[in-house]
Amino acid sequence: MKVDFKRIKPYGDTMDDGAVQLSFSLPVPCGEEAREAARQLVAKMGMEEPQVYHMADLGEGYTYFIVYGKCTHTVDFSSIRIPKVETDRMDFYGINRFIRERIGRKVVVLGACTGTDAHTVGIDAIMNMKGYDGEYGLERYPGIEAWNLGSQVPNEELLAQAIERNADSLLVSQVVTQKGVHIANLTQLVELTEAEGLREKLILVCGGPRITHEMALELGFDAGFGPGSLAPDVASFIVRELARRREEKERTGS
Amino acid sequence: MNGKLRLNPDQIRRARKAAARIAADVDTCIGKRTTVAVERTVLRLMGVDGVNLDGVPLPNVVVDRLLEKEGLSAGAATWVVNASLHYGLSPREVAEQTAAGSLDLVSVPRAGRESLLREGSRLAAGGLDRIAARRREREEKIARLGEGKKPYLYVIVATGDIYEDIVQGKSAARQGADIVAVIRSTGQSLIDYVPYGTTREGFGGTYATQENFRLMRQGLDEAGEEVGRYIRLCNYCSGLCMPEIAAMGAMERLDVMLNDALYGILFRDINMQRTLIDQAFSRMINGYAGIMINTGEDNYLTTADAVEAAHTVLASQFINEQFARMAGLPAEQMGLGHAFEMDPDLEDGFLMELAQAQMSREIFPNAPLKYMPPTKHMTGNIFKGHIQDAMFNLVGILTGQGVQLLGMMTEAMHTPHIHDRKLAIENARYIFHNARRLGEEIRFVPGGRVEKRAREVLDRAVGMLEEVESIGLFAALERGMLADVKRSRTGGKGLSGVLEKGEDYYNPFEIELRKRLGLGGREEGSAHESGLQTN
């Protein structure tokens, strides 16, 4: 089957059939009018032959739909460029060896769920001794001094701890957010580190289900890690970036 | 009672005895202290409510003023009741005048001790009678409307806007939910006051305020009348304002409260003395109001591995049970928590989940266990997630859980959308209905995997509880024996709100609650001998 990468469309069982499944609710009472509204709405999304396969009354004048349609839009896959964290991923042993050989001291990493966020699953997956999905967390790395400050840490507190512990890198996790509060919170941290004159010294990393590397760069972070990232991804980036900065400093400084 | 797992009753007795001593030891220590939150609760129960011109709640204004004037060790009631008697004002009016600056509580001429106690106990009786009336109201409604079958279907709303919450809660009730919980704004557990009035903005949830409680209660009552089933309302009795939330919930007829003795210490870094004192008073109120508490053992598994840390969940259930008993809360109101959090890729993981749930059921036969859904291993693959939730529901019905906190396929993605809840309820109703009596038909192979697993978890819990007992709970927390988190006795948030009770300390509500709950005074039969047993 030949794929036209300049004009790709969703695939169901036939090339370019455009098959898409959708589910959503509308604030209208359940009935034939509701079904028609869902159908029309999906047509406006650019779907041909919208089919409402399931409709359910949610009460309070709301209705739920499962709709299939054939998407008419295409995208040019060949022109897509996504900035990625450009680091070769090392494993646990490789990272520790890298630290021994290229940095020669322990790398201090502070992790926290900042602001109002109380969901530590993400930061725990990266930091905890036990780790996640078969990968040890940073606390297990002999070359890394890892401090997990937990949840709901104010940015000011994180920064105070960073100064006290002479941190090399800050890991900020943002999991559950509402109305974009994580953006404001992440931006504030960058501003605070700048105000304290620490931005150059610190490697700022953020992560979470809604974080992308591109967005992290936009906010002034050094890297962003989305869902599925594990400790070695984060650690590889940190140690290479730290080594890069040190070597650059040595070159320009001396 | 050997049950399906043939658990060793001697091991269960040992665990319970150790937990009873752990709780009794703590009780002796916390009996000598009070907190700003307890004192604010006393004021709320006397009818003090509202805010001053700067928006500070009046209970905070009064308690802060008494702290400043070094009068709080006598208890807020001492001063407010005294001023009430002297000026012939209600406690609320006394608080309003204190806030306005026209009344100085500590310089009001002191009434005789006897008339103070008489007025105090009159106010306490009045306050508690109001709570008893709300409890009767619940009982009447349930008798008239009926209620869902257990496991109750428990769903969460979390829009941040109480009016939007009401729409979502009513919709959930129509779809079959039995309990609607309003998730709190994530910052709330660490603020040392309860916000006032209706709120329409929050972070990851809606602020718990008395007015929000009232509005949601009204909405669910309406939905309950329409669907012909009593709909329970749940909120969070945790954080720095734990007992105040209990009082507000009791006054607004909430039915279920998240309320854990150790959660705040371990997972919110609240000072251990503060939380342990606050939980004791809050549980007396919850107990008296007929509110089911839900404990937070599921949290042990969000950081630790569910297979390895299973015994910590059981140990915490034993400890929570004993703290609840000391506060006069009957077993029927103890929604002890546990969770379905094992890695779905684990071979025979389902068997271990089954063992854990069945074991909890058999060890706490009268408690309406609260079963928490998978969260840690939910991935954003909503289709797989829906099946994980189905497996969880199957264990729930098979083992006779009391409260099933329904898993959402969109867990770890966003707060539930209206149809996420619908799909979750559909999932649970299908499985509960379709497999209603499966548990009655199932026996486990003697010496088989399920039985062995349950025994192993119980044995490890006994070991852990006896170790904690030997050094005491405070020391165990300091050493990080629970949830691998080390907490110091004087660290954490809220310690400045803990104070020693003075000679003249007076809390008429605690006295009246102890009387009505049939609890003895704290001094009698203290630590290390009164091994409270539940069966």
- Partner-chain contact A62 B418, CB within 8 Å: yes
CA distances (Å), origin A42, targets A51, A57, B257, B382, B399: 9, 19, 42, 21, 43
Please state the rounded mean pLDDT for residues A22-26: 98
Q: Which amino acid is at B141?
A: K
Three-state DSSP class for residue B178: coil
Contacts of A26 (CB under 8 A, 6+ apart): A34, A37, A38, A41, A62, A63, A65
Interface residue B413 vs chain A (CB under 8 A): yes
CATH number, domain containing residue A24: 3.30.30.60
Residue B528 has pLDDT above 70, yes or no: no
pLDDT recorded at residue A71: 98
Dihedral sign from CA coordinates of B423, B292, B250, B142: positive
Of B186, B379, B422, which is closest to A58 when you measure between CB atoms? B422
Helix (H) or strand (E) segment spanning residue B185 = none
Of B268, B269, B419, which is closest to A58 when you measure between CB atoms? B419
A124, A233: one domain: yes
Asked whether B192 and B497 are in contact (CB, 8 A), the reply is: yes
- Identify the DSSP state of B53: T
How much is the mean pLDDT over chain B? 94
The answer, yes or no, to whether the previous bond of A209 is cis (omega within 30 of 0) is: no
Of B203, B302, B412, which is closest to A178 when you measure between CB atoms? B203
Interface residue A118 vs chain B (CB under 8 A): yes
Q: Which amino acid is at B287?
A: G
Residue B92 has pLDDT above 50, yes or no: yes
Asked if residue A124 is part of any domain, the answer here is yes
A73, A105: one domain: no
Domain residue ranges of chain B, discontinuous segments joined by +: 147-438
- Partner-chain contact A58 B418, CB within 8 Å: yes
A69, A110: one domain: no
Spatial separation of the C-alpha atoms in residues B429 and B415, rounded to whole Å: 21
CA distances (Å), origin B5, targets A75, B363, B436: 59, 10, 20
Could you tell me which residues are beta bridge partners of residue B301? none
Phi/psi of residue B166, nearest 5 degrees: -65, -45
- Partner-chain contact B412 A209, CB within 8 Å: yes
Among all residues of chain B, which has the CA nearest to that of A117? Answer: B186
A57, A98: one domain: no
For residue A9, indicate whether it is catalytic: no
Please give the model's pTM, rounded to 2 decimal places. Answer: 0.85
Residue B422: HSE in the Cβ half-sphere, 13 Å Cα cutoff:
21
> Whose structure tokens read 């071979």?
B347
CATH number, domain containing residue A148: 3.40.50.280
Residue B447 vs residue B190, higher pLDDT:
B447
Helix (H) or strand (E) segment spanning residue B297 = none
Which of A2, A130, A179, A201 is the catalytic position? A130
Model pLDDT for residues B413-426, shown as the tens digit of each residue: 888 899 999 999 99
Contacts of B301 (CB under 8 A, 6+ apart): B309, B313, B339, B341, B376
Q: Which of A43, A77, A111 is the last residue of a domain?
A: A77
A99, A29: one domain: no
Q: DSSP assignment of B401-464, as one string?
A: -SEEE---TTTTTSSPPHHHHHHHHHHHHHHHHHTTTHHHH--PPTTSHHHHHHHHHHHHHHHH
How far the first Cα of chain B sits from its last, in Å, is 11
A153, A227: one domain: yes
pLDDT recorded at residue A254: 55
Phi/psi of residue B517, nearest 5 degrees: -85, 0
Residue A64 has pLDDT above 60, yes or no: yes
CA distances (Å), origin A6, targets A75, A77, A88, B223: 7, 6, 30, 53
- Identify the DSSP state of B240: G
Spatial separation of the C-alpha atoms in residues B7 and B459, rounded to whole Å: 10
Domain B147-438 in CATH 3.40.50.10680? The answer is no
A57, A128: one domain: no
Dihedral sign from CA coordinates of B212, B203, B258, B282: negative
Q: DSSP assignment of B326-384, as one string?
A: HTT--GGGEE-EEE--S-TTSTTHHHHHHHHHHHHHHHSTTS--EEEPP-TT--S-HHH
Which residues of chain B are within 8 Å of residue A59 when distances are taken between CB atoms?
170-171, 173-175
Number of domains in chain A: 2
Please state the rounded mean pLDDT for residues A214-233: 92
Which of B4, B17, B170, B370 is the catalytic position? B370
A114, A181: one domain: yes
Asked whether B208 and B182 are in contact (CB, 8 A), the reply is: yes
SS3 sequence, chain A? CCCCCCCECCCCCCCCCCEEEEEEEECCCCCHHHHHHHHHHHHHCCEEEEEEEEEEEEECCEEEEEEEEEECCCECHHHCCCCCCCCCCCCHHHHHHHHHHHHCCCEEEEEEEECCCCCCHHHHHHHCCCCECCECCHHHCCCEEEEECCCCECHHHHHHHHHHHCCCEEEEECCCCCCCHHHHHHHHHHHHHHHCCCCCCCEEEEECCCCCHHHHHHCCCCEEECCCCCHHHHHHHHHHHHHHHHHHHHHHHC
A188, A147: one domain: yes
Which of B298, B376, B422, B505 is the catalytic position? B298
**Boundaries of domain holding A66:** 19-77
Model pLDDT for residues B182-204, shown as the tens digit of each residue: 999 877 888 999 999 999 998 87
B113-145 and B36-45 are packed helices; what angle lies between their axes, rounded to 10 degrees?
70
Q: Which amino acid is at B26?
A: V
Model pLDDT for residues A180-195, shown as the tens digit of each residue: 778 888 999 999 999 9
- Residues of chain B above pLDDT 90, percent: 86
Please state the rounded mean pLDDT for residues A233-242: 94
Which residues of chain A are within 8 Å of residue B201 when distances are taken between CB atoms?
179
Confidence of residue B532 (pLDDT cuts 50, 70, 90): very low
